Structure 1
Amino acid sequence: MIDSRPVKRDMLPGPVDIAIDGSALTFDRAKRMADGKARELAASPMLLAWFDKKEWKHSPAIVCGCGNDVPSWVTYAQSRGARISVLVNDGEYVFLYKEG
């Protein structure tokens, strides 16, 4: 099931932007770059959630009626300690990490 609520920058914990050139940006490349940025910001970052705007997919693939406008995958990550959000190319991909 997919949560159709859009993600906005002000919903995310500790947002950091990175830009990756190239029209052939894939999820795997975006994740590698985001993982690298997260390692610059925390010793042992742990990925808790992600969002792929191109495919409108997210993980974890949960939907809850949390009573607010925040997507459930963001709520999930925040409730488990996410403190870093890496936004690739203005939110084309979003990765949420907790500090390990």
Structure 2
Amino acid sequence: MKDILIAITGASLDFDLARSMARLIALRENGDTDCLAWSDAGRKSHSPGCVQCEIKGRPGWEVYGENHGGRLKIIFNQGEYVFIQS
């Protein structure tokens, strides 16, 4: 899985904007991209939420995304928002 790190400064960033930006970035490499997993650190929320909290030191939602076809991990503002895209 390839990591893409994005830092946004000087403008407000919310979950919906970050998700839209992640999708646009992923579409450049895969026209059929899907968001497989995500994390919102500010709200302490992630999806899927039903997986174990941690698997071998990694968040369960991240392992889920990678194991279900995740090719890109798009990280905004040092983990404020993270999206795993197919």
Aligned 8 A contact 2:40 2:82 in 1:
yes
Once the two structures are aligned, what percentage of the paired residues are identical?
35
Shift of 1:64: 2.0
* Structure 1 residue ranges without an equivalent (≥5): 1-12
* 2:23 corresponds to 1:35: yes
Partner amino acid, structure 2, of 1:33: M
Instruction: Report the secondary structure of 2:84's partner residue.
Output: strand
Larger strand proportion of the pair = 2
Shift of 1:25: 1.4
Separation in structure 2 between the aligned mates of residue 83 and residue 56 of structure 1, nearest angstrom = 24
Distance 1:67 1:49, change over 3 A: closer
Partner amino acid, structure 1, of 2:6: I
Matched length: 86
* 2:60 corresponds to 1:68: no
* Structure 2 residue ranges without an equivalent (≥5): none
Q: How well do the aligned residues superpose, as a CA RMSD in angstroms?
A: 1.8
When normalised by structure 1's length, the TM-score is: 0.75
1:1-100 superposed matches below 5 A: 13-22=1-10, 24-64=12-52, 67-98=55-86
Shift of 1:67: 4.9
When normalised by structure 2's length, the TM-score is: 0.86
